[in-house]
A and B are shown apart, each in its own frame.
Chain A
């Protein structure tokens, strides 16, 4: 139990409100690159 709470504390120290902007940006970047690199990115191409 102590081990889990210690791990939660570490997580809270790393991901807090102050640097949430960094993690949001990283997440958006990772998801966007994954979409563009895969076939999912083709939804941006108009089928005329």
Chain B
């Protein structure tokens, strides 16, 4: 018994030493693997914002605590957005729910549950009877003092054997500015579709307060993505993203035409003013894009999106209008307070 007690004491002492050493390094949480290059890929570059055709959204809020809104979205001339969709949003502590249904009957639902400030679970579902496949995604994020751990399961199912796509990722701070991460993906389709596949990805992020550099290496295909972000002034941010692939950036097209080395670098800039946000982008293939968003009145926002593809002589233009109708006096007051704060 003495031996076991001694062993436990030794293990505890080692653990305490590791903890005290980590505390002396002043490490901070590095963010999640999913948001490794969020500042460039999600905030500056246009991939999440660009649209074509005409779009109109009408949103009506019913209460603020908990937050509950319904919205109708209309789109014309878009290949991505459905002509009509109805969505609702409910947000409070600890649940956040969002659901939408479009004119083809495709249903999307999302549930976020915040267990505490460091633990978050998400469930997303997509059900349709059209060309888009049905999808269910379960995700669990855990944020530690100096690390982030995430588990994701896409279409998990058990038919004789476990099938689906499973992703585990870990991002760990090694110094107050530098963090290293690894992501493991295991894909097991049903036996009729194809063989199982496992890949490892490696990532790193250097955060020097006014600039951030990240790199991501996909271990199996050799794809490399590097980004650089810098805050040039309180209202201006700029970023660069470089994607290199030895087999081609569009993997499904590469299967048809054969592997071909391909690279793409996009440079973007974002201007954020009190009533408007401007985003501009140019890439190494000669495409130029712009996205402008301007708040015309407290409840009306106008968006303009455009992309010019010079080598292919192609152009895409989009115009959007968003109306946010307050449903109660409390919401009108809140909107006016926000407007006053922005103009101050």
Contact = CB atoms under 8 A, between A and B. Distances in A.
Interface residues of B, number: 22
A44 interface: yes
Contact of B238 (A19, A41, A46): A41
The majority secondary structure among interface residues of chain B is strand
B62 to A, nearest CB: 40
Interface in B218-239: 226, 228, 230, 232-233, 236, 238
Interface stretch (B1-9, B177-185, B264-272): B264-272
Contacts of B228: 29, 32-33, 36-37
Interface string B238-255: 101011100000000000
A28 B211 CA distance: 18
A25 interface: yes
Contacts of A41: 230, 232, 238
A18 interface: yes
A18 B265 contact: no
Contacts of B267: 28, 32
Contact of B243 (A18, A25, A42): A25
Interface of B: 211, 226, 228, 230, 232-233, 236, 238, 240, 242-244, 260-265, 267, 269, 271, 284
List 4 A-B pairs, minimum CB-CB distance, nearest first: A25-B263, A29-B242, A22-B263, A19-B261
Interface of A: 18-19, 21-26, 28-29, 32-33, 36-37, 41-42, 44-46
